[in-house]
Amino acid sequence: MKGKRTDFGGADCAIARALNIIGDWWSLLIVREAFHGRQRFGEFQKRLGLAKNILSSRLKKLVQEGIFSTEKDDLTSGHRYVLTPKGENLCIVLIALWQWGEAHCFAPGELPSEMIDTRRGRPLQVLHLRDSTGRRIGPREFRLAAKSSRPADRAGVSE
């Protein structure tokens, strides 16, 4: 049976694997700070105000998981934590969280900041689920399926 069973609940689920890496409050907030330009231990510590041992263990795991690489810091005796491409791709998770939080966790007018593009200075487009043709779909219009249940032909899959 091994190899045929699709276990949506365990390690075969991409959500579960992603959460295994970044599924803790502090890890995603550290990544958020990195997007804001922070690179040094002291900068993360000052911004997040968390205990040094916790920050240290989270950074260590994020390096092990390939979210950050470390580079020698010319200014201090330590090193800098630099987002890898894998880490940078977490931007979509952060923006999804931001937009959901913006829509559901603030009173109208309460949120004093916004995510803007650096070129035009305008709010980012709201993320929407879309099928492979680009049509917007709702939260009840997608499902998980075993790949073997679908023809192997991937033609027409748009990204």
Question: What part of residues 43-102 is at the interface with a copy of itself (CB under 8 A)?
Answer: 47-49, 66, 83, 86, 88-102
If the CB atoms of residues 54 and 103 are measured against a copy of itself, the closer one turns out to be 103
Among 1, 14, 75, 152, binds a copy of itself (CB under 8 A): 14
- Phi and psi (nearest 5°) for 96? -60, -45
Is residue 73 within 8 A of residue 80, CB to CB? The reply is: yes
Buried/exposed 116-150: b ≥16 CB within 10 Å, e otherwise? eeeeeeeeeeeeeeeeeeeeeeeeeeeeeeeeeee
Shortest Å distance, C-beta 60 to a copy of itself = 18
Contact pattern for a copy of itself over residues 133 through 152, marking x by CB under 8 A: xx--xxxxxxxxxxxx-x--
Paired residues of 69 in beta bridges: 82
Half-sphere exposure of 37 (CA within 13 A, CB side): 0
User: Taking CB under 8 A as the rule, does residue 40 contact a copy of itself?
Assistant: no
If the CB atoms of residues 54 and 126 are measured against a copy of itself, the closer one turns out to be 126
Shortest Å distance, C-beta 29 to a copy of itself = 7
User: Taking CB under 8 A as the rule, does residue 42 contact a copy of itself?
Assistant: no
Q: Which of residues 102-131 bind a copy of itself (CB under 8 A)?
A: 102-106, 111-131
- Phi and psi (nearest 5°) for 133? -90, -5
Q: Binders of a copy of itself: how many residues, by CB under 8 A?
A: 89
